[in-house]
Amino acid sequence: MLDLIVIGGGPAGLAAACSAWEGGAKNIVIVERDRELGGILNQCIHNGFGLHYFQEELTGPEYAGRFIRMLKSTGVEVRLDTMVLDVTEEKEVHIVSAAEGYRVLRAKAVILAMGCRERARGAISIPGSRPAGIFTAGAAQRYVNIEGRMVGSRILILGSGDIGLIMARRMTLEGAKVLACVELMPYSGGLNRNIVQCLQDFGIPLYLSHTIVDIKGNARVEQVTIARVDARRKPIPGTEKIFNCDTVLLSVGLIPENELSKKAGIRLDRRTNGPVVCENMETSVPGIFACGNVVHVHDLVDFVTAESQRAGAAAAEYIARGERPGCDVLELTNGDGVAYTVPQRIRRSGVKKSAEVFFRVSRVCGRSTLCVRCGDGDIAEFKRDHLAPGEMEHIVLPKALLEKCGSGNLTISVKEVSHD
Amino acid sequence: MTELICIVCPRGCHLKVDEENGFSVTGNSCPRGAEYGRAELTNPTRVVTSTVRVEGALHPRCPVKTNVPIPKKLVFEAVRALNGVCLEAPIAAGQIVVKNVCGTGADFIATRNLERR
Ligand SMILES: Cc1cc2nc3c(=O)[nH]c(=O)nc-3n(C[C@H](O)[C@H](O)[C@H](O)COP(=O)(O)OP(=O)(O)OC[C@H]3O[C@@H](n4cnc5c(N)ncnc54)[C@H](O)[C@@H]3O)c2cc1C
Ligand code: SF4
């Protein structure tokens, strides 16, 4: 029997495995379906990673490289080119690889670190014909950055998520013409810095409150029509604009990859599409932990690392000491203006010095107060100058504070003080 | 007075730069923001990332970056300097790929290891 199986060798799996090793777990295996470690970071060749964790600005491959080096100094075993097919509540992990065929591994604990996948055209139902030339931005990123193949020459981007913005710049530098970035919402889904350095730097227009209403083309995309949308996000007739282009990139959101979690009978949260987790990243199945984009979509890898280190340390503790009683539970709920929280549950006995809570707001706000309410009293307030759905927020709740509040629910909400 | 969004870190502070007053910056949460605001209006610079061809490795491309920011107006020229460059695996992260890019003094360096296979 192994101590720990980590599913996924991206930044989440790497950090979790290193921390579990440091925490005393010894028989650890990382299972990764790709030919190399590093996950999505291998294709994110731009810089902007590691400012929090390493205090310097690294590219994705450099950030991954540092953790791969750290992992090499441990005794963690890595199985590449190996796909996990199934995980059970009993912590049996079914794997398959070309080299060894089908096998079942057993462990005392499991960490889920499978990352997320991109929403594709089907998930957002774009009208029009079905020619070639429509890619998710992440797939295009892989073709261009890893395989060295261009995906098109006149490009329209639907959705202003970070991957789409990063690809707007990348394709421009590679000689393509990026005609516009079109966003359904009245605000961008990506980081402000990416709007500036990926669109504005190159004079690429951003159409907010717009969507694609038609795609024309026989074999390949030839023409795309966009239109402004009203407050109910319905296209407004007469506002159409036509672009002649050969490629559409979709950057319309990421979904945590939880097929395996479902099979293991793990409780999922409808708001995050990821597992419900406790303060130490344990799921509803004792001994199965989750971290990184499989839990909720992160915009900063530094937070993935921090969260995964917590999961790794907690798994090591679980392996050493077995199940921990989880009776004294605070349930976290999202109040006005908050879309979700991670963790969703805090077991007070499991909190060391403090509990970190991550969340996203559901609308753009100016100067605001984040209120933490327990029962009918506010127990803490945090000030922010600016809040946006594209930027993950986090607050730290000290143990002393959690002990003061009674039992029941903690609600986090936003009160806007002034709009910018 | 020019309003800018600081791109130095993901926080994205809203800066105001006063050109008439020695490019003094307000709205920044840390000194790097002040430095960025001043530089952006006097001599804007960017780190450039791209890829080059590589032979004998797991992948046909190797990611690269300029080891220091270069003037923004030279970004396209810098990327063109990578055309036709072909590396031979093994590659070590940090290895110089193009020296003194467009006379800026910056070098393009590899940003990952690629073993020979
Ligand atoms: C395009 C893009 C741009 C980004 N830009 C930035 C940025 O500028 N700055 C920043 O800080 N952050 C950025 N991020 C965010 C950051 O990179 C991610 O949050 C982080 O990589 C998530 O790590 P992860 O390990 O959870 O997931 P991943 O990196 O996706 O790793 C998951 C791994 O699990 C493996 N896996 C999945 N299912 C299985 C299975 N069944 N069996 C075996 N293996 C499996 C996958 O192959 C993959 O290697 C960006 C993300 C993306 C997608
Ligand atoms: S001013 Fe400082 S904190 Fe604000 S975005 Fe710039 S670097 Fe980040």
CATH number for the domain spanning A342: value is 2.60.40
Report d(CA B55, CA A194) in Å as an integer. 32
Domain check: are A245 and A126 in the same one?
A: yes
Domain check: are A277 and A379 in the same one?
A: no
Domain check: are B38 and B53 in the same one?
A: no
Q: What is the reported pLDDT for B11? A: 77
Closest-CA residue, ligand 1 atom 16, reads A301
CB contact under 8 A, B9 and A36: no
As a three-state string, the secondary structure of B41-90 is HHCCEECCEEEEEEECCCCCEEEEEECCCEEHHHHHHHHHCCCCCEEECC
Domain final residue, candidates A266, A301, A324 = A324
Domain check: are A124 and A107 in the same one?
A: no
The answer to whether position B24 is within a domain reads yes
Residue from B30, B35, B36 to probe ligand 2 pocket by mutation (most atoms less than 8 Å from CB): B30
Domain check: are A153 and A213 in the same one?
A: yes
Segment (H or E) for A372: strand A367-374
Domain extent, residue A91, equals 1-118+254-324
Domain check: are A5 and A106 in the same one?
A: yes
Report d(CA A92, CA A54) in Å as an integer. 36
CB contact under 8 A, A147 and B112: no
Q: What is the reported pLDDT for A368? A: 94
Domain check: are A227 and A133 in the same one?
A: yes
Tens of pLDDT along B4-40?
A: 989 887 778 889 999 998 899 999 989 999 999 999 9
Domain check: are A148 and A260 in the same one?
A: no
Report d(CA A321, CA A191) in Å as an integer. 42
Asked if B45 and B104 touch (Cβ cutoff 8 Å), the reply is no
Domain check: are B33 and B67 in the same one?
A: no
Asked if A29 and A113 touch (Cβ cutoff 8 Å), the reply is no
Q: How many domains does chain A have?
A: 3
Label residue A316 exposed, middle or buried (CB < 10 Å: 0-12, 13-18, 19+).
Answer: buried
Placement of tokens 């679980």 in the chain: A318
Of A120-129, A341-350, A405-414, the least confident: A120-129
Nearest neighbour of B5 by CB, restricted to A147, A148, A192 = A192
Tens of pLDDT along A298-342?
A: 989 999 999 999 999 999 999 998 876 667 889 999 999 999 999
CATH number of domain containing B86: 3.10.530.10
Domain check: are B37 and B75 in the same one?
A: no
Domain check: are A94 and A243 in the same one?
A: no
The answer to whether position B115 is within a domain reads no
* In A81-184, beta strands by DSSP E: 82-87, 92-97, 101-112, 116-118, 134-136, 154-158, 177-182
* In A8-153, beta strands by DSSP E: 28-31, 47-49, 58-59, 77-79, 82-87, 92-97, 101-112, 116-118, 134-136
Q: How many domains does chain B have?
A: 2
Tokens at residue A206, please? 């951003």
Side-chain-facing half-sphere of A18: CA atoms under 13 Å: 21
Domain extent, residue B101, equals 49-110
Which residue in A80, A47, A78 sits closest to A62, CA to CA? A47
Domain check: are B67 and B86 in the same one?
A: yes
Q: How confident is the model at residue A3 (pLDDT cuts 50, 70, 90)?
A: very high
Q: CB of A355 closer than 6 A to ligand 1? A: no
Asked if A115 and A39 touch (Cβ cutoff 8 Å), the reply is yes
DSSP letter at A318 equals H
Asked if A358 and A303 touch (Cβ cutoff 8 Å), the reply is yes
Regarding predicted confidence, which is higher, A274 or A389? Answer: A274
Closest-CA residue, ligand 2 atom 1, reads B33
Residue from B4, B5, B13 to probe ligand 2 pocket by mutation (most atoms less than 8 Å from CB): B13
The answer to whether position B116 is within a domain reads no
CATH number of domain containing A207: 3.50.50.60
Which residue in A337, A357, A349 sits closest to A410, CA to CA? A357
Domain check: are A90 and A185 in the same one?
A: no
Beta bridge partners of residue A214, listed in sequence order: A225
Domain check: are B69 and B104 in the same one?
A: yes
ipTM score above 0.90: yes
Domain check: are A86 and A189 in the same one?
A: no
Beta bridge partners of residue A409, listed in sequence order: A331
* Ligand 2 lining (C-beta closer than 6 Å): B 6, 8-9, 11-13, 28-30, 32-33
Report d(CA B28, CA A3) in Å as an integer. 47
pLDDT at A13 over 80: yes
Domain check: are B54 and B37 in the same one?
A: no
Tokens at residue A261, please? 């979690």
The answer to whether position B117 is within a domain reads no
Torsions phi, psi for B79 (to 5 deg):
-65, -35
Domain final residue, candidates A207, A230, A252 = A252
Residue A64 corresponds to which amino acid?
A
Domain check: are B53 and B104 in the same one?
A: yes
Domain check: are B56 and B32 in the same one?
A: no
Tens of pLDDT along A357-401?
A: 999 999 989 899 999 998 878 889 999 988 888 889 999 999 999
Domain final residue, candidates A307, A324, A341 = A324
Tokens at residue A416, please? 């806007």
Domain check: are A320 and A339 in the same one?
A: no
Domain check: are A134 and A200 in the same one?
A: yes
Question: Both ends of chain B: CA-CA distance in Å?
Answer: 56
CB contact under 8 A, A147 and B61: yes
